[in-house]
Chain A
Amino acid sequence: MESALRCGDCVVLCRSQSMSKESRMRATINQKLTEMGERERLKEILRAKLTECGWKDQMKAHCKEVIKEKGLEHVTVEDLMVEITPKGRALVPDSVKKELLHRIRAFLSQHAT
Chain B
Amino acid sequence: MKMEDMPLSGPDNTKLEALVHDIYSELVEDACLGLCFEVHRAVKQGYFFLDETDQESMKEFEIVDQPGVDIFGQVYNQWKNKECECPNCKRLIAASRFAPHLEKCLGMGRNSSRIANRRLASNNNMSKSESDQEDNDDLNDNDWSYGAEKKAKKRKSDKNQNSPRRSKSLKHKNGELGSSISTEPYKYNYSTGISYESLGPDEVRSLLSTQCGVISEHTKKMCTRSQRCPQHTDEQRRAVRVFLLGPSAPPLPDTDPVVESDSFDIPDGQTLMSRLQWEDSPDISPADSASSKTSTNHSDSRKPKKKKRTSLSLNSGGGGGGGGGGVGVSLTGGCSSGSSSQSNISLSTKKKRPKLTGPSISSIYDDLN
Dominant secondary structure of chain B at its interface with chain A:
helix
Interface range on chain A (Cβ under 8 Å from partner): 35 or more
Tell me, yes or no, whether A15 is within 8 Å of chain B by CB.
no
B35 touches A60 (CB 8 A): yes
A60 touches B39 (CB 8 A): yes
Q: Using Cβ atoms and an 8 Å threshold, which residues of chain B touch A108?
A: 16, 19-20
User: Which residues of chain B from 1 to 53 have any CB-CB distance to chain A below 8 Å in the complex?
Assistant: 1, 4-5, 8, 15-16, 19-37, 39-40, 43-44, 48-49, 52
Residue from the set B16, B27, B37 with the largest chain A CB neighbour count within 10 Å: B27
Q: How far is the CA of A47 from the CA of B27 in the complex (A)?
A: 9
B43 touches A75 (CB 8 A): yes
- Chain B count of residues within 8 A CB distance of the other chain: 32
A97 touches B35 (CB 8 A): no
B43 touches A100 (CB 8 A): no
B28 touches A46 (CB 8 A): yes
A81 touches B21 (CB 8 A): no
Dominant secondary structure of chain A at its interface with chain B:
helix
Q: Using Cβ atoms and an 8 Å threshold, which residues of chain A touch B25?
A: 89
Closest to B40 in A: A77
A84 touches B35 (CB 8 A): yes
B43 touches A109 (CB 8 A): no
Q: How close is A87's CB to chain B, nearest CB, in angstroms?
A: 9
Q: A109-B1, A112-B8 are in contact. Are A46 and B31 (CB under 8 A)?
A: yes
Tell me, yes or no, whether A11 is within 8 Å of chain B by CB.
no
A22 touches B15 (CB 8 A): yes
Q: Using Cβ atoms and an 8 Å threshold, which residues of chain B touch A76?
A: 40
Q: How far is the CA of A67 from the CA of B35 in the complex (A)?
A: 14
Q: How close is A20's CB to chain B, nearest CB, in angstroms?
A: 11
Q: Using Cβ atoms and an 8 Å threshold, which residues of chain A touch B29?
A: 85, 88-89
Residues of A with Cβ closer than 8 Å to B? 2-3, 6, 22, 25-26, 29-30, 33, 39, 42-43, 46-47, 50, 56, 59-60, 63-64, 67, 72, 75-77, 80-81, 84-85, 88-89, 92, 97, 100-101, 104-106, 108-109, 112
The 8 closest A-B CB pairs, nearest first, are: A88-B32, A80-B36, A109-B4, A63-B39, A104-B20, A85-B32, A77-B40, A104-B23
